[in-house]
Amino acid sequence: MSSKSSDAVPGVRALSNREFKRWCGVSRGAFHEMVEVVRPSLDRQGRRGGQAKLSVEDQVLVALAYWREYRSQFHIAVSWGLHETTVGRIVKKVEDLLIKSGKFR
């Protein structure tokens, strides 16, 4: 995983494969596939403008947490140390990129 990880939910990476799927609703394999699909568009390294606070992996985890838990964007923002509108932007970007790829339903 990226060194830029926020560790907002540090235990997630230590979960067993079964627990990981319970936490976010997808297998680790599907998660890594999602990360690779969205990485070219979300990875800000070497680009102009500010760097993202969260790694690409963490951005996908934020979106998965939103879809899985039905928590408000405000509550997810508090958990991850983000602003509520940032959570909304992350979820929208990840969702649009995954839909555009055609690999996930």
Per-residue pLDDT at 64 = 96
Q: What is the pLDDT of residues 6-41, one digit of tens each?
A: 455 668 888 999 999 999 999 999 999 999 999 999
More confident residue, 48 or 42: 42
What does the pLDDT read at residue 3? 42
Long-range contacts of residues 52-57, Cβ cutoff 8 Å, at least 24 apart: 52/4, 53/6, 53/81, 53/82, 53/86, 54/4, 54/5, 54/6, 54/80, 54/82, 54/90, 55/1, 55/2, 55/3, 55/4, 55/5, 55/6, 56/2, 57/1, 57/2, 57/5
Least confident of 17-26, 34-43, 47-56, 64-73: 47-56
